[in-house]
Chain A
């Protein structure tokens, strides 16, 4: 279990807020419509607990975008929406003239790209702050029970994975949708990540 001290939690929250700032400006240009993104909270939990929390927040079926990465850290980063909200989000983003009942192939691809912009911003910012190169894989659209979505992201066979659970608020025009980014790392990587953030803060202070 990793207990986050308040100043670290705030710092990590800030890292993701910086990332969201970058992602929001890219998305706004892509959509020719102002897109707002913010990170109200960050928690580090065991992956099972992340699943339970997602169940509470999203219901059993989710959909989203997953992207693997390796380098000094390896793991997965997943953007998750409740299945119903994903349709709403895509409609908000794409302003489709004839909505279908399910996400079409093109809509899934569009959502994948939106997720990719957001997740790359997170990974890029983390890499910048940590001074490490992170190799990000090609993003994939994921859909189904939250377990299958998260388990596919699991990085370590047999060992316990940890998830950094980040709430993301999207606002496009007058509409708001909440999504979640889960950074899945094994325990050692998670500890390393937190300690690197701590060192980064110390460097800033001196």
Chain B
């Protein structure tokens, strides 16, 4: 077994061989390109990696100046780097960014025939041999994969940015479109509110102006009907006076409805609340419309139903609602039909007052329209019914003022049922 001194000697012997076979095989084993130049730039070493990448065999490179083998005149950096290594002893780094394809080399991992150029980074270093001669070592690294990765990264980022920009632009357009629509809506709403306020004000003024002369007409036609100042002759005039009085009364009712609707719309509805006996109220309402029902040839009945409790509410307004529902039913039920007032208390204690008729019935659309003010459903022969369609809208508003609801259910050609529901909270405790 050789001692330490023996192994040093052996190493030295091997290194001396480095001039020849050993040095070349070491260089060939390296995974980078290695070129060694003499001070006159003549190639002294050319390893297997560079043979492979350049496709220039060692025999054609060794002993020749580097610029005979490769055209390096176009490079700014390489001649300077070689010069600095040989004369000043400085090392240089040549990055792929500025010297990407410094040497005409081809990528190792692609098919030769494709001949894809290799992205390179190059290190140029000073060397010295035993005799002190200045040499230059050029190391070439394959940076192709790193360049591929970076290209991919940049492309992905660029695509991502494009997508974000495009989406942002879409959203900006969408937001701006929505803003426009909202502004249009606000304008339309404001115009509608202004128009509505003007209408309400107009109605209130006009109604008031109408009522004043109506009072005179009603007062004087009553006097004439009653014959207070003597009999009217000829006898036809008595009938005309009756007609005048009836028409004036109807007109007054209408004007009152209009006034109510206007007052409610400007927030002027005030309930005058007290204890209301609903059973009594039903009897009174039915009695009031009885003559009209008879005139139309209808059977009007105050259904037995439950006995209703006393509630807190505005008696006049509630009467107005029930009378209106009854009048409507009578107006829209053909002769020979029936109108019935039904009463009930549900499991929650809410009070239900329903007016059911055997009339022409309503579709869903007609029901919705019926609740709008100034709309009247033309049922049966067109235009034969009185009124401007304020009653139902007003009735619903008055019911809601009592925290209740007013709904209509109907089957076309069979029946219509209007239900006023007053909440249990309005019941006066015994």
Q: Which residues of A contact B (CB under 8 A)?
A: 26, 29-31, 67, 71, 94, 97-98, 100, 104-107, 109-110, 112-113, 116-117, 120, 123-124, 127-128, 133-139
24 contacts between A and B (CB under 8 A): A94-B97, A97-B154, A97-B158, A104-B150, A105-B149, A109-B95, A112-B95, A113-B94, A113-B98, A113-B99, A116-B92, A117-B77, A117-B92, A120-B88, A124-B88, A127-B88, A128-B88, A133-B89, A134-B88, A135-B90, A136-B89, A137-B91, A138-B93, A139-B91
Question: How many B residues touch A, CB cutoff 8 Å?
Answer: 31
- Known A-B contacts: A98-B161, A139-B91. Give 4 more (CB < 8 A): A109-B96, A113-B77, A124-B90, A138-B91
* The one of B93, B97, B123, B153 that contacts A100, using a Cβ cutoff of 8 Å: B153
CB of B121 within 8 Å of the partner chain: yes
A98-B157, A100-B157, A123-B88 known; A113-B80 Cβ under 8 A: no
Q: Which residues of B contact A (CB under 8 A)?
A: 76-77, 80, 84, 88-99, 121, 123, 125-126, 143, 146-147, 149-150, 153-155, 157-158, 161
Question: What's the least CB distance linking B78 to chain A, in Å?
Answer: 12
What chain A residues lie within 8 Å of B147 (beta carbons)? 106
What chain B residues lie within 8 Å of A116 (beta carbons)? 92-93
Contact B76 A30 (CB under 8 A): yes
* The one of B90, B93, B98 that contacts A134, using a Cβ cutoff of 8 Å: B90
Question: What's the least CB distance linking A63 to chain B, in Å?
Answer: 15
Name the residue among B89, B123, B147, B161 with the largest chain A CB count within 10 angstroms. B89
Contact A105 B97 (CB under 8 A): no
What chain B residues lie within 8 Å of A71 (beta carbons)? 89
Q: In the complex, A97 Cα to B97 Cα: how many Å?
A: 13
A98-B158, A100-B154, A104-B150 known; A109-B88 Cβ under 8 A: no
* The one of B84, B143, B154, B161 that contacts A120, using a Cβ cutoff of 8 Å: B84
Q: In the complex, A117 Cα to B99 Cα: how many Å?
A: 13
Q: In the complex, A97 Cα to B155 Cα: how many Å?
A: 10
Question: What's the least CB distance linking B164 to chain A, in Å?
Answer: 13
Q: In the complex, A7 Cα to B398 Cα: how many Å?
A: 105
* The one of A104, A117, A120 that contacts B153, using a Cβ cutoff of 8 Å: A104
Q: In the complex, A107 Cα to B121 Cα: how many Å?
A: 13
In the complex, what residue of chain B is closest to A71 when comparing beta carbons? B89
Contact A113 B95 (CB under 8 A): yes
What chain A residues lie within 8 Å of B126 (beta carbons)? 135
Contact B80 A123 (CB under 8 A): no
Q: In the complex, A30 Cα to B100 Cα: how many Å?
A: 12
Contact B84 A124 (CB under 8 A): yes
Name the residue among B76, B99, B143 with the largest chain A CB count within 10 angstroms. B76
Q: In the complex, A137 Cα to B94 Cα: how many Å?
A: 14
Contact A106 B146 (CB under 8 A): yes
Q: In the complex, A127 Cα to B87 Cα: how many Å?
A: 11
What chain B residues lie within 8 Å of A127 (beta carbons)? 88-89
In the complex, what residue of chain B is closest to A119 when comparing beta carbons? B90
